[in-house]
Amino acid sequence: MSDETKGGVPPPRYRDGEGHHRLIMDEQEWLARPAIWGTDKLPEEIRERKRNLFDYYRCTRLAQFVPCEVCRRAFTAVISEERAVFGGNEAELQQRYTDSHSAGAPRCAGWELWLVSINYARGIICLAEARNRNWDALYDVVRRAAPAVRWTSDWENWELALVLELIGPNPFRPISFSPEWRTDTAVSLAAQMFESRDFSAMPILADALQDTGCDNTDILSHCRDTSLTHGRGCWVVDLVLGKQ
């Protein structure tokens, strides 16, 4: 989001130290501009999973701008939703590419994405390097295909909704989830949605939690808000399943 004040929201605050101009990441900043850095306040074992899921969803959204279908499929086929791992079967990736790219044809815009996946599959580069290179290659493709995509209000709103879906309303004030609310019915509903990736039963989960005595308005309203898009990493489902 812009550094300018919007609708009465205070502007970002910074502190200078050790030669860096750092954003002050506190509760005031979170409430003004929720962002993925809010995961810093989550336990370490949860933090990495949430960040990887955020990267996964953002990758899959950006991948739609890769003009070559084969390279787009090769890229999306070799990322794991849970760990955002880039890799895959080298022979399969090679065949996908050669099947659609005649010998001597110009390299398409998504060629670097395919190449990174091949090099990771071969063990030439490590996971961290593969992820960083794929990010760079993907953003380069997006900058050429849709240079303004990341700066539109639609993109900002989508990213904000994703952050709130993964982290919850306020990481500085973690919601206490009573073990009594984790009944067989609630866990079964949450597990079914998690496995099927179909989260249409969220309002039913709210009813099940309320029947157990759950009176937390943040939890219940998140489940019942039909305007939200839920997915793996939903903070309420994770609470029910003990993943958060």
pLDDT tens for 78-130 read 566 554 444 455 566 566 556 555 555 566 667 777 777 777 777 888 877 87
Residue indicated by tokens 């670097």: 112
**How far apart (Å, rounded) are the C-alpha atoms in residues 114 and 131?**
12
pTM over 0.85: no
> Lowest mean pLDDT: which of 2-6, 152-156, 202-206?
2-6
Q: Which helix (H) or strand (E) holds 22?
A: strand 20-23
Residues 6+ apart with CB under 8 A from 178: 213, 214
Angle, helices 44-62/127-145, rounded to nearest 10 degrees: 40
Q: Out of 19-28, 143-152, 213-222, 223-232, which region has the weakest mean confidence (pLDDT)?
A: 143-152
By DSSP bridging, strand 14-17 and strand 20-23 are antiparallel
Is there a contact between 75 and 139 (Cβ–Cβ < 8 Å)?
Answer: no
Q: What is the mean pLDDT of residues 195-206?
A: 96
- Say which residue the tokens 């709130």 belong to: 164
Token readout for 206 is 């709210």
Position 63 scores a pLDDT of 80
Identify which of 166, 192, 173, 187 has the alpha carbon closest to the alpha carbon of residue 244.
166
DSSP state of 174: P
C-alpha–C-alpha distance, residues 233 and 239, integer Å: 10
The three-class DSSP label of residue 68 is coil
Average pLDDT, integer, range 145-156: 72
pLDDT in tens, 26-58: 889 899 989 888 888 888 878 888 888 888 888
Of residues 78, 87, 81, 77, the one with CA closest to residue 128: 87
Between CA 106 and CA 236 the distance in angstroms is: 48
- How far, in Å, CA of 103 to CA of 220, rounded? 57
Lookup: tokens for 157: 């709103």
Is the distance from CB of 209 to CB of 241 less than 8 angstroms? no
Neighbours of 50 (CB within 10 A): 22
Q: Please compute Rg for the chain using Cα positions.
A: 21
* Cα distance from N-terminal residue to C-terminal residue, the chain: 28
